[in-house]
């Protein structure tokens, strides 16, 4: 086989590998790249399980896990859940409902679908967590199709 033919095959193989890598990268794009151009700001976590694991290893994580800090920790959670209440009222979705759903990254973005309007977009990679994701979606669907806030009858 001529040397130029070998180089051509190697170059073709390299181009093929690069295109396959690009397709795979597109298939598992981080959530923030899926948010529209009208996104005003976003918060992204590349892996919720890793974040939790690393948080628990920090000094602040150890401090928050100390039983003496339990009243303070509960109050922080309460305040965070109060801030989340607007989403809960609209979707019927609590933070606890989302626990265990992410299989990868999570992105939450504030978008402007029209001038003077604001909306919240949540993008969750559910790789390996499809049953939990379906359960969460069923709860949201039930809450939004029942005609009553939070799915109440």
109 φ/ψ angles, rounded to the nearest 5 degrees = -125, 145
Total domains in the chain come to 1
Q: Is residue 87 part of a domain?
A: yes
Q: Is residue 3 part of a domain?
A: no
Q: Is residue 69 part of a domain?
A: yes
Nearest by Cα to 118 from 52, 58, 49, 40 = 40
End-to-end CA distance of the chain: 76
Q: Is residue 8 part of a domain?
A: no
For 103, the 3-state DSSP assignment is coil
Q: What confidence tier does 66 reach under pLDDT thresholds 50, 70, 90?
A: very high
Q: Looking at beta carbons, which pairs linking 138-144 to residues 24 or more positions away fall under 8 Å?
A: 139/92, 139/93, 139/97, 140/91, 140/92, 140/93, 142/92, 143/91, 143/92, 143/93, 144/91, 144/92
pLDDT tens-place string over residues 39-64: 888 888 888 888 888 989 999 889 98
pLDDT tens-place string over residues 108-124: 888 898 888 888 888 88
Domain interval for residue 36: 30-151
- The answer on pLDDT for 22 being more than 70 is no
Please provide the average confidence, as pLDDT, over all residues in the chain: 74
Q: Is residue 10 part of a domain?
A: no
Q: Is residue 19 part of a domain?
A: no
Q: What confidence tier does 29 reach under pLDDT thresholds 50, 70, 90?
A: low
Tell me how far apart the alpha carbons of residues 124 and 102 are, in angstroms, rounded to a whole number.
6
pTM: 0.60
Tell me how far apart the alpha carbons of residues 95 and 68 are, in angstroms, rounded to a whole number.
24
Contact 129, 101 (CB under 8 A): yes
Q: Is residue 24 part of a domain?
A: no
Q: Is residue 13 part of a domain?
A: no
Q: Which of 11-15, 42-46, 79-83 has the lowest mean pLDDT?
A: 11-15
- The answer on pLDDT for 27 being more than 60 is no
| Mean pLDDT in residue range 118-139 | 86
Q: Which are the contacts of 93, defined by CB distance < 8 A and separation ≥ 6?
A: 87, 136, 139, 140, 143
């Amino acid at each position: 086989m001529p040397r130029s033919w070998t180089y051509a095959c190697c170059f073709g193989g390299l181009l093929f590998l690069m295109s396959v890598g690009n397709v795979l990268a597109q298939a598992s794009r981080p959530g923030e790249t899926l948010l529209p151009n009208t996104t005003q700001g976003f918060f992204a976590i590349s892996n919720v399980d890793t974040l939790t694991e690393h948080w628990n290893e920090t000094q602040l994580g150890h401090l928050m896990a100390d039983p003496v800090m339990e009243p303070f920790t509960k109050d922080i959670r309460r305040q965070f859940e109060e801030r989340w209440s607007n989403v809960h009222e609209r979707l019927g979705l609590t933070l606890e409902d989302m626990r265990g759903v992410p299989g990868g990254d999570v992105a939450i973005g504030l978008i402007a679908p029209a001038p003077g309007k604001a909306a919240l977009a949540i993008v969750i990679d559910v790789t390996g967590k499809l049953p939990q994701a379906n359960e969460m979606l069923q709860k949201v669907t039930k809450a939004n199709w029942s005609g009553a806030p939070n799915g109440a009858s």
